[in-house]
Amino acid sequence: MKAVRIDAHGGPDVIRVEDVPTPSPGPGEIRVKNAASGINFIDTYHRTGLYKIPMPSGLGQEGAGVVDAVGDGVSAFKVGD
C-alpha cells in the first residue's frame, strides 16, 4: 500500500510517498481502505517538529473509505461498511 511518510522534521520537502506493507487489523481493530485522505494542521505540526513524534512516521490524520478487514472481537463494523 502507499503511505505518506516523513523520516525527519522539516518543510514540505521531507514528505515522501512510500510503499509499505499492508497491516492486518489486530483484536478490536478495523482496517479502512481510504478513498480520500487529508493532511491537516496536526500533520503540519508533526512534520515541522512543533509536536514531537517518533520517526519515521506517517501523515494523514483524516480519511474516508470502506472497511476492508476486521480483527477478532469486532462486532460494530463489518467488511463493506
> Grid coordinates standing for 37?
485522505
Give the predicted TM-score (pTM) of the model: 0.78
pLDDT for the residue numbered 39: 83
Alpha carbon distance 21, 1 (integer Å): 6
Q: pLDDT (tens digit, 9 = 90+) per residue, 38-73?
A: 888 999 999 999 999 999 999 988 999 999 999 999
> Grid coordinates standing for 60?
494523514
Q: pLDDT (tens digit, 9 = 90+) per residue, 5-32?
A: 999 999 999 999 999 999 999 999 999 9
